[in-house]
Structure 1
Amino acid sequence: MGGKVKIWNPVEIAEQAKNDYASQIFPSLLSIDPSLSLPQMTPLVINLCKDMFKTWSSLGDSCFKVEKISGGITNLLLKVSVKQGDSIDDIITVRLYGPNTEHIIDRFRELQAIKYITAAGFGAEWLGIFGNGIVQSFINAHTLAPSDMREPKLVAKIAKQLQKFHGVEIPGSKEPQLWNDIWKFFEKASVLEFGDSEKQKTYKTVSFKEVHDEIYELQVLSDRLKSPVIFSHNDLLSGNIMINHEEDKLYFIDYEYASYNYRGYDIGNHFAEYAGFECDYSLYPNMNEQYHFFRHYLQPDRPQEVSENDLKTLYVEVNTYALASHLFWSLWGLIQAKMSPIDFDYLGYFFLRYNEYKRQKEKLVSMALSYLLERNE
């Protein structure tokens, strides 16, 4: 973004990981086209597994079973079961990165984060890396639907887990990345050209001067809130939360956008995702629903002891940063509309997110200014 894209070398990254990671990371130079059908992809995935894990290299293809777990709007997740006797001996997940996603995702930042997130006991173990993806251990759980995130018991679990996640320490710079990333997205999004005349016509209706001014004004305002900087997931939508009800375990997965960031942004972005990809913002949590989350986030063991002042502070912080979430993902949508071959209306997504930003802006900015005035800040 705004510069050269780093060269992705699986062998080099795996060698580097050996020096500062508990487990060996197995590399392969092979790549797999994520646009292929599952039957077309299966022999390629099997070949990848044999190339990466030498103990499987002599196994017959019939020992492998490849299944599609999920296909998001940036990548594809596959489950590979390996049978070496009468039972399944190993299960892994293969994540295929979507084409051109290096234009919106810093893969090196992601891999740096995975090492330490895993060491802290979150998510799946990183096992291998290949030409256009990574291999991880299999998590026996299912992903949530947007409606699940509103269920009070799950809300409490997510809040408690996020509080723990925000305590993860990642070596290196602790600078929050939100505004750096938004400005990079803006630079890229504002100079696109579409071969499709209808898309180009729609794109030309976007006033980038207006968007520029909105970003600048919101950055100035939100900085005044002094939201704590913590290590953030930054993409806590329902598809990135998994639960195993039998074991009562909740998992956060997919750290493609993870970085140090503002506490208010990570929670505000999560609330915005209640609306799902359809952007039904009638599902955005009301104050009472948010306070339920905040209590379990701020004091997981004694949620009813959280003060009214702390609840209000976090309410203002989170909802102001939810505006930043709309700006971030609207610009992301424009870039994806140009770069991604996935069949999704990314251009329409820009307008859904940006229009919601404009609908909520006056009310939320007024609330933040009143809050700051009360505290003479």
Structure 2
Amino acid sequence: MYSNEEISESGILYSLWKYLTTFDGQGTLNQSKSHRCGPSFQWSLDWPQRTLFHLYTGLKTLMDEEERYTSSGGVIYETISHSPKCQVDFSKQHESTSKPVEATNVVHNLKEIFATFKLDANVFPAPVVHATRDLCARYLGGIWTSLDDEDLELKAITGGMSNLLFLVRFVASKHPIGNEPTVVLLRIHCNLDTTHLLNESVIFTLLSERSLGPKLYGVFPGGRLEQFIPSRCLKCGELSIPSLAKKIGALIARVHALDVPTIKQPMLVEIAKKWLSKIGETNPNMKHELKGRMVALEKNSKYPQYVNIDVLTAELNLMEKCLAKSKSPVVFCHNDLQEGNILLRGDCEIGEDGALHGEYTDQPLVIIDYEYANHNYRAFDFANHMIEHILDYSNPQPPFYFINKERYPSVEQQKELFIAYFEQLQYIENDGQLPAHLVEEISVGREKFVEILRLETQRFLATSNLFWSIWSFMQSGNSPIEFDYVSYGLDRLILFYQSKSDLIELLDE
């Protein structure tokens, strides 16, 4: 289990752990104790009981799993049973008559198991199938506890750059015995960090409760089980379709207006510094010639000949100085609004004229994968989303991405997105749910607000490029996902240098 020192050093872990002393696990709060838990959390009795319960069970599961992992020397030994930890209501557990699941070993480092599977393979390795069955039995209950390995149907879902994704269902001859899901999405994290995983689990749960993301079925060291929404990811070229751009703008507004209990300071630079530190630990002599794979170096421009940790550190330090001058408001941001993280519901279609057709045309899109979500400068979310218009990850051949700068949104296309964002903020304000600092932001009127946001976005393009360049160099040494991270990191760094002058303008303000 975590020591007091470890708990106190981790803001979100400390806060959640302290909260366990005020929450009895049965959906009630002990009001004799304080509900202000640590520097990064403010708990509220107004939160839905289901939200509080999911946060409680999610943390308890993670900490229990970590304790078992530590005490067993790296391998978790546990008999699969109908554990109450992942049930929504302890008092209404299903009394299953299905056969008990035999004791099994669940390896803590799921990343190693699932790394044995190749996306282009037709057959799943036995360890992958077995681990999947174990996880589903433990966290889903019901019929899942009586399934054999051959009763599972698995399908790899491509497109994830930080996670391995699998669609899991049982064969048609099997039937649910309760309200357990019949199909789920299994997400395996490629970077294991307990504090980060806790942070993401809290965020995921809150967004699920507010209809901004899939439901959470189970969370464990190394990944989670979540609701599968029949849908498809948007394609890169679809981001600029006016009908979709307006929906995306409205969704971003809903995310930015959320009051999420995480540290209310921009984490951008701090996270990038941690990534640089990891590079220093795993590849201290990293050195790459600055050559673009998909982006050409501009003539008569100043670029370093080689990229190493010192170069990246110097640019990050400059970026930090520039951001200190930024007036972009700090809000809760997704931070990775690329096409692969925006789903179009399966019953919606895009017509040849760009119009939406189907049952859910009011809310046809779902934003997913809040792995990098935290409080950040508002402009980062928009700058990152704009750049994603030119980054296409559908290339089946190395380097597994395309870059087409001609796809960058025009001023008019940007304004469509910003206007939809503004109007959604107005709607949220009318409902009395908009944070005070955003109420002040929109009080300047639509035209001025849109122009301010457009300028903010332009100046933050460089921050997105440098941030993901550092991330890519860090990923290059430890990711099982087939992707040319080094080339991607170099291309994003070249894009950083091409937009750096706009960032430096912040120093003159």
Cα distance in 1, alignment partners of residues 326 and 492 from structure 2:
23
Aligned residue number for residue 499 of structure 2: 360
Match of 2:124 among 39, 44, 52: 39
- Report 1:11-160 matches (<5 A): 21-23=52-54, 29=76, 30-31=106-107, 32=110, 33-37=113-117, 38-40=123-125, 41-56=128-143, 57-82=145-170, 90-98=182-190, 101-102=191-192, 106-160=196-250
Assess, with a 3 A threshold, how the Cα gap between structure 1 residues 351 and 292 changes in structure 2: closer, same or farther: same
Assess, with a 3 A threshold, how the Cα gap between structure 1 residues 217 and 104 changes in structure 2: closer, same or farther: farther
How many residue pairs are counted as aligned between the two chains?
357
Assess, with a 3 A threshold, how the Cα gap between structure 1 residues 83 and 314 changes in structure 2: closer, same or farther: same
The amino acid across from 1:47 in the alignment is: D
Match of 2:265 among 168, 175, 189: 175
Deviation at 1:50, TM superposition (A): 2.0
Conservation of the 8 A alpha-carbon contact between 2:201 and 2:219: no
Deviation at 1:357, TM superposition (A): 0.9
Deviation at 1:278, TM superposition (A): 2.4
The amino acid across from 2:419 in the alignment is: R
Aligned residue number for residue 332 of structure 2: 231
Assess, with a 3 A threshold, how the Cα gap between structure 1 residues 73 and 48 changes in structure 2: closer, same or farther: same
- Report 1:207-286 matches (<5 A): 207-244=308-345, 245=348, 246=358, 247-248=360-361, 249-276=364-391, 277-286=401-410
Cα distance in 2, alignment partners of residues 44 and 172 from structure 1:
32
Flag the structure with higher helix content: 1
Assess, with a 3 A threshold, how the Cα gap between structure 1 residues 172 and 254 changes in structure 2: closer, same or farther: closer
- Point out the more displaced range, 136-145 or 215-224: 215-224
Deviation at 1:120, TM superposition (A): 1.9
Cα distance in 2, alignment partners of residues 168 and 69 from structure 1:
29
Q: Deviations over 1:301-335 (max 9, x none)?
A: 989x9643222211111121121111110001111
Query: Helix, strand or coil: the match of 1:339?
Result: coil
Assess, with a 3 A threshold, how the Cα gap between structure 1 residues 186 and 316 changes in structure 2: closer, same or farther: farther
Aligned residue number for residue 331 of structure 1: 470
The amino acid across from 1:243 in the alignment is: L
Aligned residue number for residue 293 of structure 1: 417
Deviation at 1:121, TM superposition (A): 1.7
Query: Helix, strand or coil: the match of 1:219?
Result: helix
- Report 1:300-339 matches (<5 A): 300=424, 307-339=446-478
The amino acid across from 2:481 in the alignment is: I
Displaced runs of 4 or more, over 6 A: 86-89
Assess, with a 3 A threshold, how the Cα gap between structure 1 residues 105 and 280 changes in structure 2: closer, same or farther: farther
Conservation of the 8 A alpha-carbon contact between 1:175 and 1:261: yes
- Aligned sequence identity (%): 24
Assess, with a 3 A threshold, how the Cα gap between structure 1 residues 238 and 193 changes in structure 2: closer, same or farther: same
The amino acid across from 2:379 in the alignment is: G
Match of 2:482 among 320, 338, 343: 343
Deviation at 1:104, TM superposition (A): 12
Assess, with a 3 A threshold, how the Cα gap between structure 1 residues 132 and 188 changes in structure 2: closer, same or farther: closer
Q: Deviations over 1:237-263 (max 9, x none)?
A: 111000111323210111110101111
Assess, with a 3 A threshold, how the Cα gap between structure 1 residues 120 and 208 changes in structure 2: closer, same or farther: same
TM-score between both structures, scaled by the size of structure 1: 0.82
Cα distance in 1, alignment partners of residues 382 and 139 from structure 2:
38
The amino acid across from 1:117 in the alignment is: L
RMSD: 3.5
Assess, with a 3 A threshold, how the Cα gap between structure 1 residues 212 and 236 changes in structure 2: closer, same or farther: same
Cα distance in 2, alignment partners of residues 328 and 345 from structure 1:
17
The amino acid across from 1:272 in the alignment is: I
Aligned residue number for residue 277 of structure 2: 187
Assess, with a 3 A threshold, how the Cα gap between structure 1 residues 301 and 230 changes in structure 2: closer, same or farther: closer
Query: Helix, strand or coil: the match of 1:343?
Result: coil
Gaps of 5+ in 1: none
Cα distance in 2, alignment partners of residues 260 and 315 from structure 1:
20
The amino acid across from 2:415 in the alignment is: Y
TM-score between both structures, scaled by the size of structure 2: 0.62
The amino acid across from 2:411 in the alignment is: M
Cα distance in 2, alignment partners of residues 365 and 43 from structure 1:
50
Assess, with a 3 A threshold, how the Cα gap between structure 1 residues 239 and 68 changes in structure 2: closer, same or farther: same
Assess, with a 3 A threshold, how the Cα gap between structure 1 residues 172 and 343 changes in structure 2: closer, same or farther: closer
Assess, with a 3 A threshold, how the Cα gap between structure 1 residues 338 and 59 changes in structure 2: closer, same or farther: closer
Deviation at 1:86, TM superposition (A): 7.2
